[in-house]
Structure 1
C-alpha cells in the first residue's frame, strides 16, 4: 500500500480524516487554499471539478493555509462559511495547516518529497498550488497557483479513466 494512504488530516470539525479509509482507489486533487488571495476565485473551478467528477472517483481536498501574506486569517468556522456562501463549496475543507517550514503538515511534507515544481523547487511558493494523486496513491502531478482548470483538467480526466 502507498505511504500516501498512511497519512491523515483533521477535518474542520476536529475529527480525523484517514486517507486510507477515505481516499484509497480515488484520484485526489489537494490544494492549499486562502480566502483573501488573488487566486481565491479558483474555488469556483475546484467546485466545478468536484461536481463534474466526484462520481467518477475524484476527491478535491482544500487545506487552508495562512503562510502566504496572511491571506487566510479566519477561524475554521469562518473559512468553511466563506467557501460555502461565496463559492458553494461542498468538497472537504480540512483544518488550517502550514505547508512549509518547521511546523509543516505531514501531508505536505510527503507531497513535496514526491513531486517538486517544474524547476525542481520542493517548497510551496504560494496559495492554490495543486498536487494530484492517482488511484494507487502516487503523486503524479503538481501545478502552480497560476495554473487554472484548463491546464490540469485533461490530466485529471486521464487518471480518472484508468481503472
Structure 2
C-alpha cells in the first residue's frame, strides 16, 4: 500500500492515502487532522475500544477510565449543523465539557469523504441498513482494540457500550 509515514515512539507507521483506503486493514492505517490542524495517526488508538462519531457526543467519563476513546469528527453535510470554523467548533465543544479527541471538520459522504469514513462504511459490520451513506449526524462506529468495525449505530440508536466491548 502506498502512503505516507508517521513516526511515533520510535516506530514508523504507514498511513492510508485517499486513493488506497480500500486496501486498509484497520483504522490504524489512517490519519486525520485534529481540531488544531495537526495530523494525527490513528495508530495512537491501538489497544483501545473507540467510538467514532461525526458530531459531538456526550459519554460518561467513567468509560474513558475503562479504555474507551471517543473520536469526534464534525461534519456540515446535514442541514448545515456545523457551519463554524475549527476554532468555533472547539470553543463550542468546551462549553459542553467535551473531553474527547476532536478532529477537523470533514465530509463523511461523497467523493470528498474522508478515507477513514469510506473504509468504515465499506466494512461488513459498518454497512448501513438502507445503503452505506451516513444519513444524519450522530451516526457512530464502534471499533475494537484491533481497529476493526464491530458495530454501526444509527442516529437514533443509543450506543450503550457494554463491558464486553471494552474487553474485546
Decide: shared fold, TM above 0.5: yes
Higher relative contact order (CA 8 A, sep 6+): 1
Matched residues, number: 143
Q: Normalising by the residue count of structure 1, what TM-score does the alignment of the two structures yield?
A: 0.82
Q: Normalising by the residue count of structure 2, what TM-score does the alignment of the two structures yield?
A: 0.80
Corresponding residue for 2:19? none
Gaps of 5+ in 2: 1-23
Gaps of 5+ in 1: 35-42
The structure carrying a bigger helix percent of its residues is 1
Corresponding residue for 2:153? 143
CA apart distance, 1:17: 1.0
Cα distance in structure 2, aligned partners of 1:135 and 1:120: 28
Corresponding residue for 1:9? 32
CA apart distance, 1:120: 5.0
The structure carrying a bigger strand percent of its residues is 2
CA apart distance, 1:57: 1.6
Query: Paired residue for 2:45, among 7, 17, 23?
Result: 23
Cα distance per residue 1:35-84 (max 9 Å; x no partner): xxxxxxxx3x33x2xx1122222110110000000110001111111111
Counterparts of residues 82-93 of structure 1 (less than 5 Å):
82-85=92-95, 87-93=96-102
After the TM superposition, which parts of structure 1 deviate over 2 Å for at least 4 consecutive aligned residues?
none
Corresponding residue for 2:137? 127
Answer with 1 or 2: which has the greater Rg.
Answer: 2
